[in-house]
A and B are shown apart, each in its own frame.
Chain A
Amino acid sequence: MLSWSIRPIAELVLRNVRRQPATRLYPRERRSPFPRTRGQIAFRIDDCDFCTICAHKCPTQAIVVHRIDKTWAIDHGRCILCSNCVEGCPNGCIRLRNEPHPPLRAHEILTFRKGYESPPPPPPVTVEPPTAG
């Protein structure tokens, strides 16, 4: 009775011993996302005319657009990747990328401002090698 009862499961286990592992060693080995994966919202400010359509179409109010200040902000923690904003934008500024957004460590809102230029990188500091004295 016992041998009969464990036979099917034992066969399966034995066959699996000879197979490759079914799992990945996750942090070291990562699967690349599929081309269609809804990963994260990417924004390019160049063509945006701050019409606020995307903010109105967003079901979770993740996007805040300011017409006068010319800013466009997104809270990736609220976005549910529905792509309503992508379909709604008349100028094609918003895109859905397939790489998932890295985990957020704190609540942050990513703001873009028209005409904003990132500050120039600080000049490299050169240190004289100590002279042998």
Chain B
Amino acid sequence: MANTTLVPFGPQHPVLPEPIHLDLELEDERVVRALPSIGYVHRGLERLAEHYDFIEMAQVAERICGICSFIHGQGYCQGVESLMGVEVPPRAAYLRTLWAELSRIQSHLLWLGLAADALGYESLFQHSWRIREQVLDLIEETAGGRVIFGVCKVGGVRKDVDAELLQSVRQRIGTIRTQFAEITRIFTVDPTIQRRTRGIGYLSPEDAHHLGAVGPVARGSGIARDTRTLGYAAYGELDWEPIVEQGGDCYARCLVRIREIDQSCELIIQCIDRMPDGPIEVSVKGKRPQGEALFRLEQPRGEVCYYMHASGKKNLDRFRVRTPTFANIAPLVHMLKGCELADVPVIVLTIDPCVSCNER
């Protein structure tokens, strides 16, 4: 057997915003094996759910992750609502969809910036984040917070968005779309980016399926796996289709995210145009969740699963979150096999690792 070298990658690495550690076994410059280890920022939020009041826990659920905060809150609230047998009013469902899509746009733009930075495009990084800033402003103007939305609660949403503000959001989403089209061109035609991403980190559709890839990783490998097709919140009433790319490499995953930003803009415009009138919340006074269920939602990074078990007490008996990054670690280890050491950062980045999410 040839000599192998063990190179540690992370937990502190320039491309990683959060700590994840990979032990890379190298033969010359080629990775033969990668061994991930996680658990650097574990916070025990699942255990907290067993002590917290289930209404207040919505605040904690939103803090599982900073980038997909709204969708965690939404998933938790939807879960508790269905265990209580409560249905939210249609306007609340549409508002939730609107905010979830805004959060998807900002998350993908953040990722695009990081990806550009990892490829050495510093000014492209700043351009992505400049556009993201406008999305964050929209979020702050409608929800009140930039990172933690704080608008989702069990039984509906906290704040209504009036027609005037909705129209202004609609118009500004249009502006953001045109600005985004400018930087998209660079991602799609620039030969340097193409050379560093095309054919790198290939994941075949079969492997993606067997290893349980979710989100843009699965869709980049040609699997149309998007939990939004289940039609939760308002997705069942909007016209859209999951975005699929056939490449299976880093470039395809990048394209999926780029096209999803455009699609999210489209979904927001549809939401605003079809926004029904009516109340934004129903009272859940005196109701307690009871039963056991599993819920799935689509986060910017892929499918997230919530398992809940409740027995009519003021707290849940068990709360478990399976986050998309966790599901994507197995495909990542597979993709890393046989790649060059210099490509490792780009491959790790294309699964969009969100480690804090992973370590509830």
Contact = CB atoms under 8 A, between A and B. Distances in A.
Interface of A: 1, 4-5, 8-9, 12-13, 22, 34, 36-38, 57, 59, 80-84
A9 B123 contact: yes
Contacts of B52: 59
Interface stretch (B37-45, B136-144, B328-336, B339-347): B136-144
A8 B123 CA distance: 12
A37 B185 CA distance: 35
Nearest to B187: A8
B354 interface: no
Interface residues of B, number: 29
Contact of A5 (B130, B185, B190): B190
A59 B60 contact: yes
Given A13-B123, A80-B59, A84-B56, A1 B141 contact: no
28 contacts: A1-B191, A4-B191, A5-B190, A5-B191, A5-B192, A8-B185, A8-B186, A9-B123, A9-B190, A12-B123, A12-B127, A12-B182, A12-B183, A22-B133, A34-B141, A34-B144, A36-B143, A36-B144, A37-B140, A37-B144, A38-B144, A38-B150, A59-B52, A59-B60, A81-B145, A81-B150, A82-B150, A83-B158
A1 B191 CA distance: 9
A117 B91 CA distance: 47
B95 interface: no
Contacts of A8: 185-186, 189-190
A15 B67 CA distance: 31
Contacts of B123: 9, 12-13
A127 B156 CA distance: 65
Contacts of A82: 59, 150
Interface string B112-148: 0000000001011001001001000100111111001
B159 interface: yes
A9 B121 contact: yes
Contacts of B183: 12
A38 B145 contact: yes
B56 to A, nearest CB: 4
Contacts of A4: 191
A37 B149 CA distance: 10
